[in-house]
Amino acid sequence: MKEGRKLSIVVPVYNEEANIPLLVDELESELAPLDIPYEIVLVNDGSTDCTEKVIKTLSEGSSRVVPVSYYPNRGRGYAMRQGFSASTGDIIVTVDADLSYSPDQIGRLIQPLLERDDVDIVVGSPYMKGGGTENVPFFRLLVSRLGNMVLGLSFKGGIHTFTGIFRAYRKKVLDSLLLESEGKDIHLEILSKASACGYRIVEVPAVLRGRKRGRSKFRVGPTTRSHLIFSMMERPALIFGFAGLFILLLGIGIGIYLYVLFRQGTLNPERPLVNLTIILLLAGFQILSLGFLGVQMVILRKELFKVQWQNRLLEKRLEEHQNAKE
For residue range 121-180, list pLDDT tens digits in order: 999 999 999 999 988 888 778 878 887 877 777 777 778 998 889 999 999 999 999 898
Least confident window among 1-5, 46-50, 55-59, 120-124: 1-5
The yes-or-no verdict on residue 2 having pLDDT over 70 is no
The yes-or-no verdict on residue 3 having pLDDT over 60 is no
**pLDDT tens per residue, range 269-325:** 777 888 888 899 999 888 888 877 777 777 777 778 888 888 887 887 787 777 777
- Average of per-residue pLDDT values in the chain: 86
pTM of this prediction?
0.78
* CB-CB contact of 109 with 29 (8 Å): no
What are the Cα distances from residue 83, in Å, to 69, 194, 207, 210?
A: 10, 18, 24, 24
